[in-house]
Every structure is written in C-alpha cells, then in structure tokens.
Amino acid sequence: VIVLFTNYGENRMQGRKSIITLTTDFGTKDPFAGIVKGVILGINPEAVIVDLAHEVAPQNVLQGAFVLMAGSRWFPQGTVHMAVVDPGVGGKRRPIVIETNTGFFVGPDNGVLSWAVNNTDTSKIVEIKNPAYMNRTISSTFHGRDIFATVSAHLSNGLSISELGPQIDDPVTIQFPKPEQTEGEIHGEVVYIDHFGNLVTNIELPKGSPVNQVVIGKMKITRISKSYDEGRSGELLAIVGSTGYLEISVNLKNAQQEIGARIGQNVLVRL
C-alpha cells in the first residue's frame, strides 16, 4: 500500500501558505497594487496577501515608515512585509531585505523599513542583486513589481535571504524622533495624524507619574482620559492610543480640523 499525497500548501518550497503585507504609496485608483499581487500569486499561488495601506502620501517615506512600524507588529512571525515608498526608484538606492526574529522586511534602502525593525532582533540584511529572483525585464520606474514583489513571493516560498545577494551592514536608517525629558516635563511632537484626525505623538507616559497638563499650541488638557466617551462631544482629550503613544483627540470630532494641528507640532506634557 502506497498512499501518496501532497499536503497542499504546507511545508513545501513552492506554494507555501504564508502572509505578505503591502505598504505603499500606490493609491487604489491604478492597477499597481493589483499588479504586485498578480506577480506574487504567479510565484506563490498560496500567498495570503494583506494590504497594510496603499494611501501613504506619494513619496512620503516617513509616513510609510510609521504605517509599517504600527502595522507589521500585529502579524504572525515569519510574515513578509513589503514596503514601497520609493522616490529613488531606478536610481542608486539599493533594494534590500532585512530578516528579523519577527519576519522579513523588503523594500528600498531609504529608511522606510527602519522604524519597523527598531524593536526586533535583526539577524541579517542583504542587498537584492540576484536576477534569478526578479522579473526578466526590470523597469526603471516600478521595482515594486519587478523586484520587491518577486523577492517577497520567493521569501514566502521559503527562500533563504542569502540567495538574494551580498550581506550589508550599513542600511539607511531614519531616526525616530525621541522626546526630550527634563525635570517634570516631556517635550515631544506629533508624528502621525490618523484618518479620524487623532494626533499621535512620540510620547510614552512614564508609569506611576501622574500627568498634570498636556499642552498643544494654546490648548491645555488637564488629565489623561481612559476612553473617548469620557469627554463631552467636541471636548479636547489626551489619551493613550492604540500604538501605546499619547494621542490628542476630540470626542466625536476631528482633532486635526478642530485645532489645526500638523505633523511635527510640539506637544508638552507636565508631570
């Protein structure tokens, strides 16, 4: 008796079930994100492809870095995270892969990957050079399709990153803006503004030190709320957001519109 079967999609080099996330500035009007998926599925028909966001502002590497950092940490170990916000496409910037204890990060070497790998153990970084894992023809304007999609798909098939090219140790990194802490004060800034208009800061509140005041522009908030609905409709709130950072919100309204805030704006916490 010979029972011969292929355990569909498990533990094979080709067609392995694994997750690939996409973070891009491609938008959704054009077929760009769909094309990336077509290329991936041609190499790994079992890939589970998840959009993290395609609405990063065009060429805004910082915003892409934030979205990838905030999103990638919620995916299972081994996930392949492809991020393409790539103003230097076709030029001298290197295409790279960073392997960490959480998964793989694939994209241009312009810092877009750097915040996501900040709190991980990085085991290896390579420059993608091996044409065997790229499309046959490489355009100078769409490496998302011709290099990053193919490499992500091959990684999801179980390819070792050593096959992709030489190891490097000098990737471009963007410093995540650190708040300054003086006695009794934390000086931070707005680092991201979400779809609801919530202002995400770079401030993590110290445990055990009650907050006296949060100041943004001319507005002062005198306590940290536990939930949005503690405030009256339209009231300015300070709250620890879902990323763990302090956020400024307006109950049932859009804080960005209400107080005219912008990325980089100073936020002061008085303990």
Q: Is 92 helix (H, G, I), strand (E, B) or coil?
A: coil
Rule CB under 8 A: choose which of 101, 118, 119, 139 binds its own copies. 139
Strands (E), the chain: 19-24, 48-53, 79-84, 95-100, 103-108, 122-127, 180-182, 185-193, 199-201, 213-216, 219-221, 224-225, 236-240, 246-250, 266-270
Q: Considering only 5-13, 169-177, 178-186, 205-213, which stretch makes contact with its own copies by CB under 8 A?
A: 5-13
Q: Is 3 helix (H, G, I), strand (E, B) or coil?
A: coil
Q: Is 211 in the site for its own copies (CB under 8 A)?
A: no
Question: What is the rounded CA–CA span in Å between residue 119 and residue 114?
Answer: 10
> What x/- string results for residues 11 through 40 when contact with its own copies is judged by CB under 8 A?
------x-x-x-x-xxxxxxxxxxx-xxx-
Q: Is 42 in the site for its own copies (CB under 8 A)?
A: yes
- Give min distance, CB of 182 to its own copies, in A: 28
Q: Is 119 in the site for its own copies (CB under 8 A)?
A: no
Q: Is 7 in the site for its own copies (CB under 8 A)?
A: yes
Q: Is 172 in the site for its own copies (CB under 8 A)?
A: no
Question: What is the rounded CA–CA span in Å between residue 242 and residue 4?
Answer: 48
- Give min distance, CB of 211 to its own copies, in A: 15
- Give min distance, CB of 9 to its own copies, in A: 7
Q: Is 131 in the site for its own copies (CB under 8 A)?
A: no
Q: Is 86 helix (H, G, I), strand (E, B) or coil?
A: coil
